[in-house]
Amino acid sequence: MSRGLELFIRMHLEKTPSMQRGRQTLTGDVILGVLGKLQREHPLGSDAIMWRWLDDAQARERIEQRLLNKLKLGETVRKDLGKYIVLTAIDAFHGTPTPSQARKLKTLWKAHSEQAKRSKRLIRGYKLSIAKVEKQELAATSEFRQKHYQGEISRLNGLVEAERARLDTYAEKQASKSTKCPKCAGTGQVKMNACGACEGHGALWLTADGLKKVLRSNGMRLSEKLWRDELEPAFTQTLWWLDVAHDEAAHALSKYLMGEKAA
């Protein structure tokens, strides 16, 4: 998929009422008109764009209906399993993390984000203070002083715990939002090398193999034959349909918008 095209769409679909580009102005009315045309002429692709870039839940509903109807599941496939595969592919296309991706992302956010650096710095500071007060406690000559230092230590420990909890909450929230890789901030590169956390993709990708592992680790019993003949094709085909429809609609959108600007 063309990255330039994706940026182009994002640029044009920003939720601004009007956009100045050179001497021409694309007003909200023009954009709505263009999107209406796109919806009529490229229904699936238009919804794919709306779902991926604008988190449009109704567009997702329509995609779901259309693809579930389109997908011819064999007699051997349990309907709920086939449906689950298609829905998972629709979410993977959008970049919604699966639960196991979210767990991995959470770990990455806790290790690599700005918030993680801040929290670690604070915690380091608290721990240094704790070490200092512990020495003072050992050297204390009265029970009163000892009690005082113990109170101080437990206060500092409380701050450490609170900071850890804060980072945990933050990481969990970030991890639920998108599959973008926190280690390389979505660039796929760390110090000129491919990022090890996302294998250079800039985001965690759900592969068919990854999905099979998820299903098996959830206790689903799948024969190799069922997987190979029915389920894997359902997954890759759904992603393929969405990618192709998205790109076709993006090309059309680009053409319409160019046309409007030239008019």
Among 92, 195, 239, 249, binds Zn ion (CB under 5 A): 195
Task: Provide, rounded to whole angstroms, the least separation between the CB of residue 195 and Zn ion.
Answer: 3
Stretch that binds Zn ion, among 45-53, 85-93, 180-188, 255-263 (CB under 5 A): 180-188
Nearer to Zn ion, 44 or 197 (CB): 197
Task: Provide, rounded to whole angstroms, the least separation between the CB of residue 148 and Zn ion.
Answer: 48
Which of 14, 231, 195, 39 is CA-nearest to residue 111?
A: 195
Nearer to Zn ion, 44 or 198 (CB): 198
Among 85, 167, 181, 215, binds Zn ion (CB under 5 A): 181
Nearer to Zn ion, 19 or 111 (CB): 111
Distance CA 170, CA 157 (A): 20
Among 67, 71, 171, 184, binds Zn ion (CB under 5 A): 184
Residues 197-256 that bind Zn ion (CB under 5 A): 197-198
Nearer to Zn ion, 167 or 198 (CB): 198
Distance CA 130, CA 136 (A): 10
Check binding of 175 to Zn ion (CB under 5 A). Answer: no
Stretch that binds Zn ion, among 24-32, 42-50, 146-154, 177-185 (CB under 5 A): 177-185
Alpha-carbon dihedral angle through residues 145, 149, 155, 160, given to the nearest 10 degrees: 180
Check binding of 183 to Zn ion (CB under 5 A). Answer: yes
Nearer to Zn ion, 6 or 137 (CB): 6
Nearer to Zn ion, 30 or 181 (CB): 181
Stretch that binds Zn ion, among 39-47, 129-137, 189-197, 228-236 (CB under 5 A): 189-197
SS3 content of the chain, % helix, strand, coil (to 5): 75, 5, 20
CB contact burial 79-113 (16+ within 10 A = b; e otherwise): eebbbbbbbbbbbbbbbbbbebbbebbbebbbebb
What's 227's DSSP letter? I
Sign of the C-alpha dihedral, residues 99, 102, 107, 108? positive
Stretch that binds Zn ion, among 175-183, 218-226, 238-246, 251-259 (CB under 5 A): 175-183
Distance CA 86, CA 56 (A): 18
Task: Provide, rounded to whole angstroms, the least separation between the CB of residue 247 and Zn ion.
Answer: 24
Task: Provide, rounded to whole angstroms, the least separation between the CB of residue 113 and Zn ion.
Answer: 12
Check binding of 167 to Zn ion (CB under 5 A). Answer: no
Task: Provide, rounded to whole angstroms, the least separation between the CB of residue 194 and Zn ion.
Answer: 8
Are the beta carbons of 187 and 173 closer than 8 angstroms?
no
Which of 238, 206, 234 is CA-nearest to residue 81?
A: 234
Calculate the alpha carbon distances from 213 to 101, 235, 243 in Å.
12, 14, 23
Note the residues at the interface with Zn ion (CB under 5 A). 181, 183-184, 195, 197-198
